[in-house]
Structure 1
């Protein structure tokens, strides 16, 4: 491969709805070499015609109808594809992730034309811990912190899993890139309403501390933040409600987390807020150019 390697990550929030908003045209014209998708939310036999254009597709739809689903689109067929639904004897799934194995939350591929493994992750949204649940302020009924505990267990298991994935890639002479919707904003610059978000799922101290441990100079680097160290955002998710999108009051919860050598090759990172005046999803594509071969 010559020239930059362009990789995009997008929580598409339903492939069928996104196609009605212009996803097919964005995909055909954006010039990406790799596109990772989260929340595809469609069984294989119900995918729209030409859902992924002329890309090669690795897709784990999961077994929950209309939920989750992750994919990696590539120009050439992947050299290898790994999902949680198919046990890997070399890398057994941590116990805390086994209940999620068939939910369509993680997929990784080895690219055929460059020494790189790319993963797509959709991390559970979670909820508030029990002590923060106030029925008067909640849209959903209190659950005693069950969703929060489920997310924290997932995160604990995934920290082990991604370390194994990164080391497995290194042993094969490959760099590693984790992309996707982590449903956590890391730092103050990653949320527009910082003070109001301090007791909101996705910006809780324990969630942010987990990212502190995951993102380090020697393991995985937050590529977008490295390229935009002092910028508010760039946000990648906005509520459909009110004027949050128009006023750019969003959250940065979609990431490119790269091994250090790969991260050093990143040349530009942009968020495609809309395509031809339309929002593709409540998220927007996070597009990074890597000068990597």
Structure 2
């Protein structure tokens, strides 16, 4: 490729609902080379019907209907070499399914793309136990990919890294899933081991940029957001990052999801 590789990650909150709200119009206008999607909530054939006219589509639905689901869409002229579905151990619990999809493409050699959807959890419930167990297994795979190099793990991690990633830190810190020290330590440990949180690297020490706002209340209007959608890159990939953008709709009712697409362009 002679042009930068434009990679977008977005939690769709259901691809059919997002499609009705204008997701495809946005995708056609922005034209990312790669779309890493989470919470697709649809069978593979539905995702392919919606995006297949413009992309090669690889999808991993959840075993539980209407839950989770991840997908990767790749521009037709990019060579796809391999697809790996799920993490070892995902098969042990249906709720772990549809959360991790790896697609290898030709780009400066082989680039491994991962669309990842971490559990949201709920403090003091079995859902939080599932989240922590999954984080531990994700960490093992993250270390394998870090040692391999040329990897980009992106998606809805459902965890902030610190105070600058959430507007209302004090009322949520160690009180809400996603803002617990036991979760945060994972994301920061990965960065300490060598992964690059590419948006934070490009944005610098600023508040946000947020990528999720609750549908409820005035969270969107008041910009009471969370930064939980990431692109974690190995250093060889991160050094090619040129710029980032977070697409925040102009009004609450113009959103196609409660998450905003997070896009980074990587130099060829």
TM over 0.5: yes
Matched, 1:4 2:11: no
Take 2:177 and 2:50, find their aligned partners in 1: how far apart are those partners? 36
Unaligned runs of 5+ in 1: 85-91, 130-144
Task: Report the Cα offset of residue 32 of structure 1.
Answer: 0.9
> SS at 2:242's partner residue?
strand
Task: Report the Cα offset of residue 98 of structure 1.
Answer: 3.9
Task: Report the Cα offset of residue 236 of structure 1.
Answer: 0.4
Q: CA RMSD in A?
A: 2.1
Matched, 1:197 2:197: no
Residue of structure 2 equivalent to 1:122: 117
Residue of structure 2 equivalent to 1:133: none
My pick for the range that moved more, 192-201 or 48-57, is 48-57
Q: Where do residues 275-290 of structure 1 align in structure 2 (5 Å cutoff)?
A: 278-290=254-266
My pick for the range that moved more, 115-124 or 156-165, is 156-165
Take 1:232 and 1:283, find their aligned partners in 2: how far apart are those partners? 17
Unaligned runs of 5+ in 2: none
Task: Report the Cα offset of residue 148 of structure 1.
Answer: 1.4
> SS at 1:79's partner residue?
strand
Query: Which TM-score applies when normalising by structure 2?
Result: 0.91
Report if aligned partners of 1:266, 1:288 keep a CA contact under 8 Å in 2.
Answer: yes
Q: Where do residues 199-218 of structure 1 align in structure 2 (5 Å cutoff)?
A: 199-216=175-192, 218=193
Report if aligned partners of 1:179, 1:254 keep a CA contact under 8 Å in 2.
Answer: yes
Higher helix share: 2
Report if aligned partners of 1:182, 1:254 keep a CA contact under 8 Å in 2.
Answer: yes
Query: Which TM-score applies when normalising by structure 1?
Result: 0.84
Q: Which has the larger radius of gyration?
A: 1
Q: Where do residues 77-156 of structure 1 align in structure 2 (5 Å cutoff)?
A: 77-84=79-86, 93=88, 95=89, 98-99=92-93, 103-114=97-108, 115-129=110-124, 145-156=125-136
Q: Where do residues 1-293 of structure 1 align in structure 2 (5 Å cutoff)?
A: 1-47=1-47, 49-75=49-75, 76-84=78-86, 93=88, 95=89, 98-99=92-93, 103-114=97-108, 115-129=110-124, 145-167=125-147, 169-170=148-149, 175-198=150-173, 199-216=175-192, 218-274=193-249, 278-291=254-267, 293=268
Report if aligned partners of 2:47, 2:59 keep a CA contact under 8 Å in 1.
Answer: no
Take 1:150 and 1:50, find their aligned partners in 2: how far apart are those partners? 31
Report if aligned partners of 2:7, 2:265 keep a CA contact under 8 Å in 1.
Answer: yes
Change (3 A) 1:223 1:100: farther
Change (3 A) 1:275 1:33: farther
Equivalent residues, number: 263
Report if aligned partners of 2:197, 2:230 keep a CA contact under 8 Å in 1.
Answer: yes
Residue of structure 2 equivalent to 1:137: none
Change (3 A) 1:48 1:154: closer
Task: Report the Cα offset of residue 45 of structure 1.
Answer: 4.1
Take 1:250 and 1:51, find their aligned partners in 2: how far apart are those partners? 28
